[in-house]
Amino acid sequence: MAPRLRRRRHKKSPSVAPMVVTPPTVVTPLPLTLSKPGPSIDAHGFFSLDRNVPGLSQLILQKLNMKSYEEYKLVIDGGTPVSGFGFRCPQEMFQKMEDTFRFCAHCRALPSELSNSKVLRHCKRCRNVYYCDPECQRSDWPEHRKVCQELRLVAVDRLMEWLLVTGDFVLPSGPWPWSAEVVQDWNTWFSMRGLQLDTTLNAMLGSHAMTSLWASVGRPRPDPDDLQGSLRRLLTDVLSRPLTLGLGFRALGIDVRKTGGSTVHVVGASHVETFLTHSGDYDELGYMFPGHLGLHVIMVGVDVSADFLHSTSASPLEPGTIQLSGHRSLYHDFWEEQVETGKLSYPDMVAAFHPGFHASLNLMEAWLPTLLLLRDYKIPTLITVYSHQELAASLQILVNLDIHITTYGANPFASLKPEQVYSNPNKQPVYCSAYYIMFLGSSCQLDRQLEDKVDGVV
């Protein structure tokens, strides 16, 4: 039985000093396990597009040859494409994808709402936002100028990401020649990989895949320095999650040399964490902790990709291996069905990448049982957020739930790839896992311990 959950008390935000912690793998794929669905952050995000640009969600479906969000979700989940989905050639695919961004950044007009004499044209500097006429572009310039240069990077990365989808861009990998204590951020990681990284990037720049990509997109190929910068940003986007888990292991004191191996649950996992995840993407976590006795990463969430769903086993892990598996379920249901029944052992750490519970009441209601469970079972937990504003809102929610926040701050392994707000293109781009929060247990327990000590002295 789960411990009784206490009622919420309201407190002021705590004064916690930010802390930055310096913190050959085999992935064992494992048959399909389904659980009941719940609220979807993916669906929430998709339909929220229409708030800023009415009709944008339907434009996206139309350009992708889909009839409904359910068909879109089926493809995202790795299911069999429906009739009508697909493209005749790469050129058509890139054109259709680019068409989903075509709406006026100033007045929010869609192509179907323009007169025959008007055509949406992109900003020539960033090639990332569109306008229905020069008047809208001039009116929008005071806002757009603040983000134009950053959005130029977004436009390049959006196309270069295709090389990750096809598997042509293979990230440098292998045991770390430096200790984890030395590799404190991306600068030291880049220095550590040094010649290996340069060789990988140069080979990618001269590859047939790169030539084919830019021949298909219908726009001039950027300079080599721009392409190499994009590859570096994409690399950090893939490796940010495993290295952030490593940061959590070190800060929360997780013993990776525990007999039988260590387990981390990634809760609220969606297609972002699972759809394009390759078996070797978490190798870097193993290289961060040489001599580990096995690491099991279990993705749990209602939006976990069907291709990523595997059965899990409670048997000990082989030393030096990393095992990836997934369950489609709300975490508190997964806990009752898998952990409380003894099918799986307790996690050594729980992580949530951008849980988004600050964003809406429905999402908060879905997350509340999980947050209280993590609090009352005293599970070491790490969450990440996109922005300082989201950090402040999330901290306040956790404080109101009497959760003991151990540390928070800027993530040294945040993704360096800027993320554009799809339906609000001139909003300042954000970066995945830009900030982290770590917590353990309840602040009420700490208050009572302090009171007991004071009473004992008196």
Q: What is the DSSP string of 307-373?
A: GG------SPPPTT-EEEEEEBS-HHHHIIIIITTTSSPPPSEEEEES--TTS-HHHHHHHHHHHHH
CB-based contacts of 187-195 (< 8 A; 24+ apart in sequence):
189/243, 189/413, 190/232
Report the Cα 394 to chain-centroid distance in Å. 16
Average pLDDT over residues 418-426: 87
* Digit-coded pLDDT (tens) for 161-173: 999 988 899 999 9
Sort residue 360 into left (φ over 0), alpha (ψ -120 to 50) or beta.
Answer: beta
pLDDT at 314: 61
Confidence of residue 218 (pLDDT cuts 50, 70, 90): confident
| Percentage with pLDDT > 90 across the chain | 54
* 406 phi/psi in degrees, rounded to 5: -85, -35
Average pLDDT over residues 151-169: 92
Confidence of residue 202 (pLDDT cuts 50, 70, 90): very high
Sequence ranges of the domains in the chain: 43-164
CB-based contacts of 391-397 (< 8 A; 24+ apart in sequence):
391/435, 391/437, 392/13, 393/358, 394/355, 394/357, 394/358, 394/437, 395/13, 395/14, 395/437, 396/13, 397/357, 397/358, 397/364
Compute the distance between CA of residue 205 and CA of residue 209 in angstroms, rounded to an integer.
Answer: 9
Confidence of residue 44 (pLDDT cuts 50, 70, 90): low
Per-position DSSP letters for 406-441, written without gaps between them: EEEEE-TT---SEE--TT-TTSPPEETT-EEEEEEE
Confidence of residue 26 (pLDDT cuts 50, 70, 90): very low
pLDDT at 279: 67
Pairwise pLDDT comparison (396 vs 100), residue with the higher score? 396
pLDDT at 275: 66
pLDDT at 65: 73
pLDDT at 421: 83
Output the pTM of the full model: 0.81
Q: State the chain's mean pLDDT as an integer.
A: 82
pLDDT at 68: 74
pLDDT at 255 over 70: yes
Confidence of residue 111 (pLDDT cuts 50, 70, 90): confident
pLDDT at 2 over 50: no
Sort residue 135 into left (φ over 0), alpha (ψ -120 to 50) or beta.
Answer: alpha
CB distance 458 to 400 below 8 Å: no
Token digits for 345?
Answer: 């052992």
* Digit-coded pLDDT (tens) for 289-302: 999 999 999 999 88
pLDDT at 8: 35
